[in-house]
Amino acid sequence: EALADLSRFFWDTVVGGRTFATGGTTNFEHWRTEWGKLASELGPESQETCCTYNMLKLTKHLFTWRSDVKYADYYERAVLNGILASQDPTTGMMMYYGALKGGHWKIFNEHGKCFWCCTGTGFENHVKYGEAIYFHDDDSLTVNLFIASQLTWADKGLVVRQETNFPEQEGTNLMFSCEKPVELALHVRVPYWAVNGVIVKINGIEQDLKAQRGSYLVVERAWADGDCVAISMPMSLHLHRMPDDPNVAAIMYGPVVLAGRLGSDGLDREMIYIVDQRAMNHADDWPVPHFIVDTDDLNAWIKPVPGEGLMFHTAGAGDPTDVMLVPLYKITGERQSVYWTISTAEQWAARCAAAAERRRRIAEDRAAFVETVLDSVIIGDGASEAAHNMQTEGSETGTREGRSWREARGGQTFSYDMSIAARPKGKPIAVKCTYWGGDTGRIFHVTVGAWKIGMVTLNNERPGEFFEAEYRIPEFLLGEETLTIGFRAHAGNIAGAVYACRIATCWPGPEDDLQPYDD
C-alpha cells in the first residue's frame, strides 16, 4: 500500500503542477523549475513524447487500483493532444519533442536515418488507442474513452460496439448484441469539460439521469440484443491557464487543444531532425500574436468556421492579427502556437512595461559584468594541450587565418582536463569556445565528463567570421577542482573545429540541456 500511495502521489504531483494542456510534461526532458512554475518552460523541446507514453502507462495502472475519473480525464487529454498529435499523418513517422514555444513546429524522425527512444515508444503509441477504452468487473462495464471500437465479452455472451467520430462528434453511441439479456451496470464517464451536461437516450427515449461532470453516469438494467445507448456531450470553449501566470493559457474545446496556425514561412523543405531541431528551433523568436479582450466570454471572440468541424478563428482580439485555430493533432508542416498571452489592454500595457524594465536592468548588469578566466587551453599547441592532458580518438589539427583548430570526425572525440580551482565562491561558470562560422555539416556535443552540456550545429550560419559560444556548467558537476571538457562528434559528423576553449565565470542564466551522454 505504501508503494501505491507513492505512485498516486507521483501522479498527482506531475499532473497537478508539471503538466501542460496537452497532457505532456518536461522541458529538455527535465523538470527545471519549482512545482507549479510552468510559464517559463514553453520551449522548442518541451513534452518529450516518451514522458507522455509513460504517464499513460502509469495512469492506466492506477485506474485499475482505484477507478477515479480524474485518471480517465487525463488519459483522454494526453491521448488526443500528446499522442495523436505526435505522428505525421502522411509518413507515419513520430515526434521526439512537442514544441510548445510559439512559432515553432513539429519535427518527425526520418525513415532509416534517425531512431531514438520516442521512435520505439511511438511504434507502440499508435497501436494502443484501444487499450484503455473499457474496464470491467464481474457485474459492471466502464466506458472511459469515446473511440470507435468493438468489445467482445465472451464470459457474458455480450458484444458492445461503440460508434462515434469523437471528438469531431460531440457524443457516442453504444450498441449491444447478445443472445439473451445480460444484467449489467453500465458506467459511462462524464468528462470534466462537460459543463453543459449530458443527454442520454436508450432506444430513442431520453433518460432522467443525474450525472455531474467529473463522475460516472450509471445505468443498471438487463441489456437486450439491439439496445442502443446514445450519449450527447456538448462541448464548449475553455482556457487551460498556466498555474503561475493566468494570462498565459491554451485554448481548448472540450478535451481538444486548439493550436494556432501561423503559416509555413521558412519551412520550405522537409525539416531534418537534429539540424533543424537544434539550429532553427533555437533561432530568434518568431512573432506570435497576443489577444486583447475585455470579456470572460470566449464565444465573444472565438468563432467557429461554419461547416469545418473543429476549426475556429479569433475575431477582433488578435494583436497584430487574428489567427485560425484547429486541433493540435491536425497541424503538420507549419508553425504553430499552443499557448497565448490573453489579457485586457491595461494588463498588456503593464506586462510590456514590466518586460521593458527587466530588459533595462539586464542590459545594465550585463554591461557591468567582467569575466574571470579560470583556465584556458591553446588549441593546436602541443605544450598547452599536453599540460591539459588532452585525450583524443582520431582528431586532427590545422590552421585558418593564423589560428589553430582541432576537430574529430565520424563519432570520434577529444577532451582536455581543465582546472576550476580558482572559481570565485558561488559564481556560475561556463565552457566558452570559439568556432568558424563558415563551417558546415558539423554536429557535436560539448561534454563535462559523461554529461552533455551543449549541442553544437555548424551549418555555415555565420560565414566569414569567428564567433564564440558558451555552455553553462551546472552546479552539480562542480564538485571537483578539475573537469574533463570533451567534444564528441555525432554519428557520421564532425566535432569542431574548435579554435579556442576556456572556462570562465559567466552571466547568470538558465542552465542548458543537461543529459548523460547516451549515443
Give residue 513's pLDDT: 45
453, 388 contact by CB (below 8 A): no
Q: Residue 368: pLDDT above 80? A: no
- Please tell me the least confidently modeled range out of 34-38, 133-137, 280-284: 280-284
Across 144-244, the runs of DSSP E, i.e. the strands, are: 149-153, 158-163, 171-178, 182-190, 199-202, 205-206, 215-223, 228-232, 237-242
Over residues 16-73, the pLDDT tens digits come to 999 999 999 998 788 888 899 999 899 888 999 999 999 999 999 999 999 999 999 9
Give residue 512's pLDDT: 43
Give residue 254's pLDDT: 98
What is the C-alpha to C-alpha distance for residues 435 and 98, in angstroms, rounded to an integer?
A: 30
Name, in order, each residue with C-beta under 8 angstroms of 362's C-beta and a sequence gap of 6 or more: none
What is the C-alpha to C-alpha distance for residues 144 and 191, in angstroms, rounded to an integer?
A: 9
340, 331 contact by CB (below 8 A): no
Which residue has cell 465479452? 153
Over residues 67-99, the pLDDT tens digits come to 999 999 999 999 999 999 999 998 899 998 898
Crossing angle of the two packed helices 2-17 and 69-78, in degrees rounded to 10: 50
304, 327 contact by CB (below 8 A): no
Please give the residue that has the higher pLDDT: either 352 or 201.
201
Phi, psi of 297 (to 5 degrees): -85, 105
Give residue 503's pLDDT: 95
Burial profile 403-431: b = 16 or more Cβ within 10 angstroms, e = fewer: ebbbbbbebbbbbbebebeebeeeebbbb
What is the C-alpha to C-alpha distance for residues 292 and 315, in angstroms, rounded to an integer?
A: 11
Q: Tell me the H-state helices in 66-130.
A: 69-78, 117-125
Residue 14: its H or E element: helix 2-17
Which residue has cell 470534466? 192
**Mean pLDDT, residues 317-326:** 96
Above pLDDT 70, what percent of the chain?
Answer: 95
What is the C-alpha to C-alpha distance for residues 108 and 119, in angstroms, rounded to an integer?
A: 9
User: Around Cβ 365, how many Cβ atoms within 10 Å?
Assistant: 11
Residue 8: its H or E element: helix 2-17
Name, in order, each residue with C-beta under 8 angstroms of 484's C-beta and a sequence gap of 6 or more: 391, 415, 416, 417, 418, 447, 448, 449
Left, alpha or beta for 138 (phi > 0: left; psi -120 to 50: alpha)? alpha
Which residue has cell 500528446? 82
19, 75 contact by CB (below 8 A): no
Q: Residue 105: pLDDT above 70? A: yes
What strand order describes the sheet that includes 403-409? Answer: 395-400, 403-409, 494-498
Would you place residue 115 in the very low, low, confident or very high pLDDT band (cuts 50, 70, 90)?
confident
Q: Residue 271: pLDDT above 70? A: no
What is the C-alpha to C-alpha distance for residues 181 and 157, in angstroms, rounded to an integer?
A: 9
223, 230 contact by CB (below 8 A): no
CATH code of domain 373-516? 2.60.120.260
Question: Domain map of the chain by residue range?
Answer: 373-516
What is the C-alpha to C-alpha distance for residues 167 and 235, in angstroms, rounded to an integer?
A: 9
* Percent composition of the chain: helix, strand, coil (DSSP 3-state, to 5): 20, 35, 40
The grid coordinates of residue 94 equal 513520430
**Which segment, 277-291, 360-374, 500-514, is predicted with the most confidence on average?**
360-374
3-state secondary structure 402-464: CEEEEEEECCCEEEEEEECCCCCCCCCEEEEEEEECCCCCEEEEEEECCEEEEEEEECCCCCC
β pairing state of 395-400 and 237-242: unpaired
What is the C-alpha to C-alpha distance for residues 39 and 18, in angstroms, rounded to an integer?
A: 10
Burial profile 179-201: b = 16 or more Cβ within 10 angstroms, e = fewer: eeebebebbbbbbbbbeeebebe
- Please tell me the least confidently modeled range out of 109-123, 441-455, 473-487, 494-508: 109-123
The grid coordinates of residue 454 equal 551543449
Complete DSSP assignment for 303-355? EE-TTSSS-EEE-S-EES---EEEEGGG--SS-EESEEEEE-HHHHHHHHHHH
DSSP letter assigned to residue 18:
S
